[in-house]
Each structure stands twice: as structure tokens, then as C-alpha cells.
Structure 1
């Protein structure tokens, strides 16, 4: 940080954990246990952590931020990492701890993907930062500016924000939240304490899902829970959204129900498709994969992605495996740009035909 962080005086009596006013802009938050309509509330918001102790993982980061907050030494923060890993929930929990019922006076929350231009920095942010801080019982406290999706800000806006951060450090703290830290200019990064939020471990996702399942009294099988964790890929938001949507579609949440709801191919389908790719002729395999795609509504890009993961389980020479995975990565890349599915399915068979030839040579 360029400036020395001044101490913050926080009146502990002003905290009220049961009251959380809506911020000015950005993500709305619903207090767990007291939603306006429990059935209509998305579970992502209903079960959003309300305190730092409730955050599912990253205890080293959470404990560090908690200690800085308790000691009134909170610096400017840059929280970055993949979606659904607890970045926004963490900083909102910090704001609740600091301000309690006065949060609506002390916090400016903006989503930089909407408010991304230099005018927002010069007007909304600077106006908020330049006003006198709200006082708790005569004691002055710093205010907090939350910039979600900060990597969507224009370069001009980021350079303008750099100067605002320097100018108002004494009475305002800035918290930048983003997915891609490389899109934040070095001048901003150097003024913030950086924390990287990695994808959540399966055990943390499982524990949180079990809490929601118990609270909602859901009927979830072990295989269904494992499917939820597997498909979430460390994204807690995605896991909760899949759980809620599957519950809406099926009374019992099984592995098949989860995959059917998300449109992902079942593991047994991927195993069957991989068998066809490795053993069937082009004409037979192409027809069968086309049929299962149409019957189950599968996307070829999902099939390629899952088959790529399945290849790691197949015993084969490492050089053949690497070449096969690289070829499938090229197919997935082309599909992401809308290339013809039939052409790419033919390319997939061609890739496996070369791998089969290499395996035959290696066997001799």
C-alpha cells in the first residue's frame, strides 16, 4: 500500500447481526432464517454466510481478515479467484461485523460490470469517499467501497480509481473483487492486500450441501450428493443452484436426476461413448453417438469434455494419452466458437482412430 493504514475506531455496541440493510447497488443479500418469502428465495442468497465464521473454506484467509478487522487495521483489499468461492460473501461478512445496523450509511457497493466507466469513479465513488464518515457514538470510522467484478472496469476508470484510493485512504477503505487479477492494473494491485480464493475442496462443498439438505429436509442419495459435488467443480454457488433446480424437478435427488437436470452426460454414458470411440467403426460409432446425443439432449462439447477426463482412467502410453488429450482440446476449442457438431464428431473419431493405431504399434 502507498499510504500508512490508519486505525479504525469501531463501537462494538453498534453491531447488530440480525439486521442487514440492502446495499446501494450490486448483489442483494437475504438474511438466512428471515427471508421475505422462503420458498421464492434462491438458496444461494438464503444460505449466504452471515459472518466470517460461516464461510465454508479458506480459513487462513478468513482468519487473517478477521484479525485485521478486530484490530481496526483493515487495509485495501483485492480478493480474486474463480466464481462461487466466497469472495463477495467474505467482504459482506466483514462489513456486517464492522457496521451492523449502520451498514447502509457506511458501505457503497457497486458491480463494476455495470458501472465500469471513469464517470462512476469520478462521481459516485469520489462523492461517497469524500463525504465525512459516519460516527458511532462520537467516534469516527472509515467507510467501505465494494467493487464487485472489478476486472470489468476500463483502464481509464482503474487509473482514476488509483488516485481516489490514495486521496481518501484516511476515511475510506476499498475492496476490489474479481475473477482475473491480471486484468487489474499493477498500480491498483500494489495499493491492495491481495488474497486468492481457490476453488473449494470437495469436503467443504459436501459439508455445506449437507447443511442445506438438512435444513430443507431434502431426500438426497449418496450418489446424488457425489454428483452435485463433482459437477460444481469447487463452485459453491453452482452447487446450490444445481441442488435447488434438481429439487424443483424431482422429489428424490439421485445421480441421474442431477445429470438430467443439468444436461450433463451420465458417467455410464461417457463410458459407453468411450467404448464406441475406441472399438467401433466410424459408421457404427458415429450413428450410435448421434442417437444418444439426440435421445438425451447432450451437447457434443460436454461429451468431449467428459471423455477427456475419462481418458485419464484408461491405461495407455503417456505419449499417446498426451496427444489424444491435446487433439480433444482442439475440438473443444473449435466447438466453443460454434463449429458444426457433425464435423467435430467426425474429427473426434479421427482422433481416436489415430490413438488406436498408436496403441496397436505400442502393443507390438
Structure 2
């Protein structure tokens, strides 16, 4: 049976509209411009016009979409959320490339562009729908966010305690099309709103008027407060550089979270004086002054040189929780820390030799680690 043209055309129009919307959603939510792995961060920091604009400036961010999360109403509309009755919060969904930017760096950019201390709204926008929140997508994201917020609170840069909610991610609803890239489509109105909202005046007061031209990250502030030396710059090279530089075992341990064999590794019985640095970045990790013979067959230490150079997180790879140790800047897997060590810390940092390079005391000055000679006086 033939369909009339008058019926076919409306049906075709509906199909094209649906395809257009689905194509936009797929492009926004599963962007594959990098051709590799991507991750999501769902963040609430007041007006999503502003947070979208600020997060899209971060290198490694692929896309930022404005929307709503936190409530139970399906497919909420802006007027419903703005009423404050849906329990939804204005959020942005950030798609980023973890090979270029870490989740903590995304959070760093986020916190430096909001007021994380106000749980009653955000600047001129008042109400629960504008309060700050982080919706974590995994246990790892939760742990990173918790630790980072604790460090920010201890830093005291915001002058008030953080009141940013940390909640599990459940659903993200894309906001109406006219909200997307609002700062580009309506630049004059956006600039007027942003200026009038008081956001930039507040951020200038907290971070200084040079925060855009000469930004200092929260991580840099935290590290400086912990006494991390700035005489050397530490960073993670590209994967190609790492593969070219490391042995197969070193790559397996640091990049694939592997473990070398006990009693069959370079430093488990090393008694020389010196420090151990990250094999990838060179950041200082441990000193021979804190090394002891644990009997495990791996190099063991009671503490790191400086807590600011390491990151700990919960590891469930053996079905039960362990505390994994990673380097701060290179994000190399180093080993694990256990609570069965000797005094004074009672800790055992059980490391992989393949994740580290040993620098003897007599070579510290030549290698650019002269400040650590004081450990051996």
C-alpha cells in the first residue's frame, strides 16, 4: 500500500529532527575528536554559562555541555530547574582527554572560577539550583576530589570553609540549545551578566587581578605551602616519549600498574646513600635515610621525601582495598603503602625499583638535586 506524499513529508521531517538532536547529543556526550579514551567530569558552580566558558579554556578539555543533574524529574526544562523545586542543579558535563589533562587539573580549573564556599547559591544567582557540587563518576574521582578539597581547605585561600557537595553521578540532562555556548552566541549579554554577577570581582579578590594573564594553580599554591622546591619543573612526557625512554618492565610497572618480582629487582638491597626519583619525571620520592630492610624483597621506606610529591588512592585490584602510591606530576604507579612499618611512622612504603632511579649522594649536585644534600648532614 502506497503512502500519500502528505503523510511521508511530516514523517521525514520528524526523522531528520530526531537524527539532528541525537547527532548533537552523541557529538556532545561521546566526542571522539582525539580518537582515544575520554573521561567525564560533572560540575556545578553556579550559572552554567560561566562555568562552561571557563572550563573550555583548559587544554585537554574536548567539550563542555550545559545541563542539569541531581534531581529526579526526567528531562527537566530551564524554567522548572530555575524554580528551585526540581532538586536539580545547573551543571556542566566536561569531556576531557586524560592523556592531556588529569581529573585533578579539571577540578583545579573549576575551583579557581567559582565560589566553593557558598551553599545557598552562586553570586547574584540565589537558590539551591545554583549551589556548588561535584558529581563523581567513579570511586577514583570521589577520592581525588575528597583529597583535593581537604588540601584546598587546609590552604585557606578562600578564607571560608568549602561547602561544595560531593555526590555520586546518576543522570545528566542536556539544557536547551540556546544555553549551549551562550558566551559565544550572545557575547555582549554574557559579558554584561558576568560583570554584574560579581563573579570576577570575587575571583580577583581571591586570586589577584593577574589570575587570567599569569594564572597560578591551586596545586602550585598547595605544593608551595608544603615546601616543594620550584627549582625544577616536573611533568609527564607523551606516551611515545615514555615508551622510547623506559624499558619494557619500567613501562609495565609505571604505566600499566604492574609489579616487579620480589628479590629480583635493582634496589631492594641497595644500601648506598642517596635519593630515589621518579623514572619518568625525575621528581624526588624517597631517601636512603628512610629506607629499611623489610624482608619483602622490594625497596621499603618509612616515609617519602615530601608528601607533596606523591598521591595515594584506594586500589581494589586484588579484590580487597590497598592504598596505592603514585607520583604527583608523572602519575606513575610506584607501589603501595601499608601500616606495618617501623617507628617513627609505622608505615611501609613498598615500592617498585622499576619505577625509580637512584641518585647517589655524591651525584646530587651534578644532577640538580643539591638541596637534598641536607638530608645527609
TM-score by length of 1: 0.27
Query: Would you tell me which structure has more strand in proportion to its own residues?
Result: 2
TM-score by length of 2: 0.27
